[in-house]
Amino acid sequence: MNALRNILVGVDCSPCSLTALAQAARLARKAGARLTVFHAIDPLVLADLESALARKGGTMQEELLAEAKQTVARMVGEVQGPTSMESVVVVGNPLEELLARAREQNADLLVLGVRGGGGKRHGAGTFSAKCVRKAPCKVLLVDESQRAAFGSILACVDFSDACREVVLQAARLRARRGRPSMRSTSSTRRGIASTIAPPRRRRRRSTGGSSCTCCRSGSRPSSPSRRASRCRRRAATSSRGRATAGASSSSRGSERSS
């Protein structure tokens, strides 16, 4: 996050967006960057309200815009922002309007909040994920629980082309915190190691503890029903062979005695 000049933070008046605003203001103060607080009113929400309240579109839109601007102004007043900070409220598709604003003002960083806690909606949602993929700049997702300044930074790498930039950005952000030193570590936990070297497949063992040679052979494993049928056929063949051998021995003994 070198040379941060323009920081854009998207808010939806939720607790997680207030946390994102606080972190964005903190970064903007330290970097001396300009901070823009952006909020978009979804036209679908506006249409539903107009239909439910039977109000004219122009009047309802003006009222919603005025209320949204007041809410955003209260949020801005709760954080200690940089010298240069402005708030923008528009009516339009939130994703399209936010990305268009990022391109228009040539933002260096887009900051968004994600829900904390252990609920089903924990973490980044569809909106945040789309911003990460489509934004024309770097994106910082702030967890709702991260209200204090960043104390430690974890940079995750997978040896792709983007890893070098990940490490450089983490180092710059750490240096801006006044902690220039870094350390590296590695993990062999499943999920990381399996990406590098997939785990070896274990040989399937026969079930039932059978001592039959066809079950203990190194041939391709078959279904239990096929193995059982094969064992019965071999057992029947062996029984017929032993019976034939017994009959031959008896006939030879009779010939000697005669």
* Whether residues 30 and 77 fall in one domain: yes
Phi, psi of 37 (to 5 degrees): -100, 120
* Closest among 43, 89, 42 to 66, alpha carbons compared: 89
Residues 144 and 157 in one domain: no
State whether 10 and 113 are in the same domain. yes
* pLDDT tens digits, 54-103: 665 557 788 888 999 999 999 998 888 777 899 999 999 999 999 999 99
Q: Are the beta carbons of 197 and 188 closer than 8 angstroms? A: no
- Domain that includes residue 169, residue range: 153-179
Same domain, 18 and 54: yes
* pLDDT recorded at residue 187: 55
Residue 50 domain flag: yes
Same domain, 82 and 126: yes
Measured between alpha carbons, how far is 128 from 147 in angstroms, rounded to an integer?
A: 19
Listed in sequence order, the residues at least 6 apart from 98 whose beta carbon sits closer than 8 Å to its beta carbon are 8, 10, 38, 40, 110, 131
Confidence of residue 8 (pLDDT cuts 50, 70, 90): very high
19 and 92: one domain? yes
The model's pLDDT over 26-42, given as tens digits with 9 standing for 90+, comes to: 989 988 899 999 999 99
Q: Is the pTM of this model over 0.85?
A: no
Report how many domains make up the chain.
2
Q: What pLDDT digit, counting tens, does each position of 216-257 carry?
A: 544 555 555 666 666 666 666 665 555 555 555 555 555 555
Q: Is residue 79 part of a domain?
A: yes
- Token pair of 17 as six digits: 């967006």
**End residue of a domain, out of 126, 148, 170:** 148
Same domain, 135 and 168: no
Token pair 């209260």 is at which residue? 74
The answer to whether residue 208 sits within a structural domain is: no
For the stretch 63-72, contacts whose Cβ atoms lie closer than 8 Å and that sit 24 or more positions apart, written own/partner, are: 64/91, 65/41, 65/89, 65/91, 68/13, 68/39, 68/41, 71/13, 71/39, 72/11, 72/13, 72/37, 72/39
Residue 106: inside a domain: yes
Q: Which two tokens stand for residue 19?
A: 């946390």
124 and 73 belong to one structural domain:
yes
Q: How confident is the model at residue 11 (pLDDT cuts 50, 70, 90)?
A: very high
Flag whether 107 is in a domain: yes
**Co-location of 47 and 162 in the same domain:** no
Q: Give pLDDT tens digits for 105-142.
A: 999 999 999 875 445 556 678 899 999 999 999 999 99
Q: By CB neighbour count within 10 A (0-12 exposed, 13-18 middle, 19+ buried), where does 195 fall?
A: exposed
Residue 193 lies in a domain: no
Same domain assignment for residues 74 and 102: yes
76 and 138 co-located in one domain: yes
Which whole-number Å values give the CA distances from 92 to 65, 107, 151, in the listed order? 12, 20, 37
CATH of the domain at 12: 3.40.50.620
Residues 109 and 162 reside in one and the same domain: no
* 228, part of any domain: no
| 185 found inside a domain | no
Alpha-carbon gap, residue 213 to 198, rounded angstroms:
32
